[in-house]
Chains A and B, each alone.
Chain A
Amino acid sequence: MSSAIIFPAQPEQILKGLGKLWTSLGEEEKHQGRPTVLRACAMTLIVATDEPDAGFAASQTISELMHEHPARGIVLAVSKDAENDLQARVLAQCWKPFGKAQQICCEQIEITARPGSWQNAAPTLAGLTAADLPVIFWCRHKGALQKDGSPGDKAALEAISKLATKLVIDTNGMVASDAIELLTKWQGEGKLVADLEWTRLTPWREPLAHLFDNPARENKFANFNYVEVEHREEKPPMQALYLAGWLSAPNKAKVAFKRASGYGSGIQRVSLRSDIEAIEFERTSPDCVTLWSSSGRERKYTFSQPSITALMTEELSVAGFDPAFTAALAQARELSA
């Protein structure tokens, strides 16, 4: 269910559109005589994108995220094909949990902007955030994240980021030094930041961490003084820098990167070495990773590249300061220098 185009994209008009939307959803309840729609909202999630699909993929992801993180979703699609400078429409993302009679509905606002106009979107967005709830800004606008992006794009990014409680970007494919510079700048301004390249590492980090949970383990983590990360890319990608930074920081371990063949993109293997033991965690098939130690233990885990929805689901669960990420970013900065 969606509204007609709202132009100009004034917050008042958009909110009125949302009001009408809920009234029409409530009509169904009147006919059925019982609650059929549950309105849910735990945050405002703003997604800015310059992808050529005019925000379709971002909308799709938001609709999937709603199941775990109900939000007022706002997709800001920047496209040269946009009809007007800034226009909007509102819609409800509804789903019915399996076996339940009641639909859960979240509201979504789609704003399209011409490239020269999206820097004017911030005042509109400021009027649309849900009261008293966190505002998450997920920037998928690649142009704005580039070091040599246009001043207009940079200004828009800056203005919208001021509204946000937390900024999320994906540095996959970015030049590592540019990515680190951008993230460090935001952190310096006191913003909460997140990088989906770091989120992609959770399936690697968690089994490695668990290995050292056992107090009975004789060879302690403090004895591991060498970290090696193998990756597919020509230069160490952000993922590799983060993983090496996270593993090397506690012991100031020596770090090496290697280019390797393997499965898919990104990290293929990570090795930890002490004087008496080597631990290897590597992709051993397209859908499996194996963790083994020279002491003889081995364990297999399923592996699949997490979807963007899965990554955002995890990231939206981390509401506040993320000390592990902050420390890894600081160490990654040193490693990339």
Chain B
Amino acid sequence: MSVLVQPLTEVNPLQDSLRFARRVPPCAIVIFGASGDLSKRKLLPSLYRLFYERRISQNFAVIGSSRTPMSDDQFRERMKESVSKFLEDAPFDEDIWKSFAQCLFYVPGDLSEEASYDKLRDKLDAVEKSHQTGGNVLFYLSTQPSYYAEAIKKLGAHNLQKGNGWRRVIIEKPFGHDLASARKLNEEIHQVLDESDVYRIDHYLGKETVQNILAFRFGNGIFEPLWNRRYVDNVQITAAESIGVEGRGGYYQEAGALRDMIQNHLSQVMATVAMEPPTVFDAANVRDERAKLLRAVRVVKPDDVAKYAVGGQYGPANVGGQNLLGFRQEPSVTADAQTDTYAAVTFFIDNWRWADVPFYIRTGKRMPKRVTDIAIQFHAPPLGLFSQETKGGLREARPNLLVLRIQPEEGISLRFLSKSPGSGMRVRPVSMDFNYGSSFGERTPTAYETLLVDAMAGDATLYTRQDMVDASWQIVQPILDVWGNTKFNFPNYAAGTWGPQASDEMLARQGHVWRVP
């Protein structure tokens, strides 16, 4: 989001913003949990890619830290293996790696030990001089969530939250396990850091197509006038996965679909779709509007949870000749697990724009295909003048549908009625399609590339703020509370289907049906 670049203090007369990549200031990145999966699979490959594309400053360094004892060279060797293995859609170049490796350092240490932070400070001082990082430091907490509070407290105790330049901290999700734990974590963070220095990452917001929602809504004049209760009948947000828990059964049993997807990613997507236009396109204003929207979401009463939320869990099935396990048969999952592998919720946004328009959000594992999209269903015209060709011979009730596809076929399509060729006035729905990948053939940066550059540039637009996290926990907490005290008759949907029947019934009560993405 180049429009949001914080201006560097001095003007470089050689800059050419038409042709050069976005400017990122010098800095050191400290990765806590550097030997973990996220570092190996996402962070280091993204940083290498940014380096390869010359998108990060020449004055840059990465300091990895974890309990594993390693020298700088051993860390470089390990990261080389990971980067060459997990680099997506990009070449690995030995010469470039050599230059990149000169920027990699390692400090072994335990987050709970004071000495680790002293060693870290020494290393930061050294790279500030050798790599001219200007004292800017971005800390990345890629550790177990239970370490977040302690790590930040110790950064404060060792005065590492201050320095010659800026200091920022990126925190991975989950931000708490529920509303109370999220609030406690935020309190602990704020004892050390100002909110403006906290970057809570939600990689969904870093996806190009999610960012494109903002461009689509606020860069065009023709859709925004229709973007309200007068024209929109309902909104459906779907995030379906065809895979199961893939060896993460133990973790997933504790989390569940509502917590893992709806509380964070999908509520942020809903906020992006439904928020008011910001007065200025900058981080503070965009996040203000997202937070305002989330605060306007009606908090469901415990007695109404069954009416507006449906949990599900997949059972075994044979799909395409392959026998798939049910969730309870997955490794590390207990035989009577009550975990929701599917969740569907009806939200209402109590503001003037969206009053009484249902926002249906569903997410699930082991669904027929992997797809994430947002469908804006517009009202039907007041009079049905034309008969329509449909498979069942029925009139299409609401022909106008705008679909914002997040993955995998990123793009936008608009369905409308058109006259069928020939005599007579017969109409049929046709689709006008914009395909993001084919219209902009350039390689799309990964969400982590986008978000890392944003954090280095001080652009927090795509990061979640404390009040946004708080508001999104508030809207799911009553559902979590009721589900936590309910004994479900799971499994209630077979692998390879679109979820439990109760979910269809939830929409039917409002006179709607789930679309098939």
Binding site for B on A (CB under 8 A): 35, 38, 40, 42, 67-70, 97, 100, 102, 104, 202, 205-217, 220-221, 246-247, 250, 288, 297, 299-302, 314, 318, 322-324
Q: Is B12 touching A97 in the complex (CB atoms < 8 A)? A: no
16 cross-chain CB contacts under 8 A: A42-B439, A67-B438, A205-B19, A209-B20, A210-B20, A210-B23, A210-B58, A213-B23, A214-B59, A215-B25, A216-B26, A217-B132, A297-B58, A300-B98, A314-B19, A324-B19
Q: Is B26 touching A68 in the complex (CB atoms < 8 A)? A: no
Binding site for A on B (CB under 8 A): 8-10, 12-16, 18-21, 23, 25-26, 54, 57-59, 93, 95-96, 98-99, 132-135, 409, 431, 433, 435, 437-442
Knowing A205-B14, A213-B25, A214-B26, the reply to whether A301 touches B96 (Cβ < 8 A) is yes
Knowing A206-B19, A206-B21, A300-B99, the reply to whether A221 touches B438 (Cβ < 8 A) is no
B residues in contact with A207, CB < 8 Å? 54, 58
Q: Is B54 touching A324 in the complex (CB atoms < 8 A)? A: no
Tell me whether chain B's interface is mostly helix, strand or loop, or mixed.
loop
A residues in contact with B13, CB < 8 Å? 212, 221, 250
Known: A206-B19, A216-B26. 10 other contacts (CB 8 A): A69-B441, A212-B12, A212-B13, A213-B8, A214-B57, A221-B13, A297-B58, A300-B99, A302-B95, A302-B96
Nearest residue, chain B, Cβ from A66: B441
A residues in contact with B57, CB < 8 Å? 210, 213-214
Contact of B12 among A69, A104, A213 (CB under 8 A): A213
Knowing A210-B57, A214-B26, the reply to whether A68 touches B18 (Cβ < 8 A) is no
Q: Is B134 touching A214 in the complex (CB atoms < 8 A)? A: yes
Q: With A and B bound together, what is the CA distance between A42 and B99 in angstroms? A: 39
Contact of A318 among B19, B95, B441 (CB under 8 A): B19
Q: Is B54 touching A301 in the complex (CB atoms < 8 A)? A: yes
Q: With A and B bound together, what is the CA distance between A208 and B99 in angstroms? A: 16
Nearest residue, chain B, Cβ from A287: B95
A residues in contact with B26, CB < 8 Å? 213-214, 216
Knowing A211-B58, A299-B99, the reply to whether A322 touches B439 (Cβ < 8 A) is no
B residues in contact with A210, CB < 8 Å? 20, 23, 54, 57-58
Knowing A301-B96, A314-B19, the reply to whether A216 touches B132 (Cβ < 8 A) is yes
Scoring B19, B93, B440 by chain A CB atoms within 10 A of each residue's CB, the highest score goes to B19
Q: With A and B bound together, what is the CA distance between A38 and B433 in angstroms? A: 8
A residues in contact with B133, CB < 8 Å? 216
Instruction: Give, as a whole number of angstroms, the nearest-CB distance from A118 to chain B.
Output: 31
Q: With A and B bound together, what is the CA distance between A246 and B99 in angstroms? A: 27
Q: With A and B bound together, what is the CA distance between A70 and B14 in angstroms? A: 31
Instruction: Give, as a whole number of angstroms, the nearest-CB distance from B371 to chain A.
Output: 14
B residues in contact with A104, CB < 8 Å? 435, 438
Q: Is B95 touching A67 in the complex (CB atoms < 8 A)? A: no
A residues in contact with B99, CB < 8 Å? 299-301
Q: Is B58 touching A302 in the complex (CB atoms < 8 A)? A: no
Instruction: Give, as a whole number of angstroms, the nearest-CB distance from B237 to chain A.
Output: 23
Q: With A and B bound together, what is the CA distance between A128 and B14 in angstroms? A: 40
Instruction: Give, as a whole number of angstroms, the nearest-CB distance from A229 to chain B.
Output: 15
A residues in contact with B134, CB < 8 Å? 214-216
Q: Which 10 A-B pairs have the closest CB atoms?
A: A68-B441, A209-B14, A250-B13, A216-B134, A67-B441, A324-B16, A104-B438, A212-B12, A214-B59, A206-B20
Scoring B14, B409, B439 by chain A CB atoms within 10 A of each residue's CB, the highest score goes to B14
Nearest residue, chain A, Cβ from B131: A297
Q: With A and B bound together, what is the CA distance between A104 and B59 in angstroms? A: 42
Nearest residue, chain B, Cβ from A285: B95
Q: Is A209 touching B16 in the complex (CB atoms < 8 A)? A: yes
A residues in contact with B21, CB < 8 Å? 206
Contact of A208 among B14, B95, B435 (CB under 8 A): B14
Q: With A and B bound together, what is the CA distance between A220 and B134 in angstroms? A: 15
Instruction: Give, as a whole number of angstroms, the nearest-CB distance from B230 to chain A.
Output: 30
Q: Is A68 touching B440 in the complex (CB atoms < 8 A)? A: yes
Q: Is B12 touching A209 in the complex (CB atoms < 8 A)? A: yes
Instruction: Give, as a whole number of angstroms, the nearest-CB distance from B5 to chain A.
Output: 12
Q: With A and B bound together, what is the CA distance between A208 and B14 in angstroms? A: 8
Scoring A205, A216, A288 by chain B CB atoms within 10 A of each residue's CB, the highest score goes to A216
Instruction: Give, as a whole number of angstroms, the nearest-CB distance from B3 to chain A.
Output: 16
Nearest residue, chain B, Cβ from A216: B134
Q: Is B435 touching A68 in the complex (CB atoms < 8 A)? A: no
Q: With A and B bound together, what is the CA distance between A215 and B26 in angstroms? A: 8
Nearest residue, chain A, Cβ from B165: A216
Instruction: Give, as a whole number of angstroms, the nearest-CB distance from B445 to chain A.
Output: 15
B residues in contact with A202, CB < 8 Å? 19-20
Q: With A and B bound together, what is the CA distance between A247 and B18 in angstroms? A: 17
Instruction: Give, as a whole number of angstroms, the nearest-CB distance from A183 to chain B.
Output: 17
Instruction: Give, as a whole number of angstroms, the nearest-CB distance from A177 to chain B.
Output: 25
Q: Is B438 touching A212 in the complex (CB atoms < 8 A)? A: no
Contact of B435 among A38, A215, A318 (CB under 8 A): A38
Q: With A and B bound together, what is the CA distance between A208 and B439 in angstroms? A: 31
Q: With A and B bound together, what is the CA distance between A299 and B442 in angstroms? A: 26
A residues in contact with B10, CB < 8 Å? 215, 220
Q: Is B8 touching A215 in the complex (CB atoms < 8 A)? A: yes
Q: With A and B bound together, what is the CA distance between A218 and B12 in angstroms? A: 13
Knowing A205-B14, A216-B132, A221-B13, the reply to whether A97 touches B437 (Cβ < 8 A) is yes
Instruction: Give, as a whole number of angstroms, the nearest-CB distance from B57 to chain A.
Output: 6
Instruction: Give, as a whole number of angstroms, the nearest-CB distance from B157 to chain A.
Output: 27
Q: Is A318 touching B18 in the complex (CB atoms < 8 A)? A: yes
Instruction: Give, as a whole number of angstroms, the nearest-CB distance from B281 to chain A.
Output: 20
Q: Is A212 touching B93 in the complex (CB atoms < 8 A)? A: no
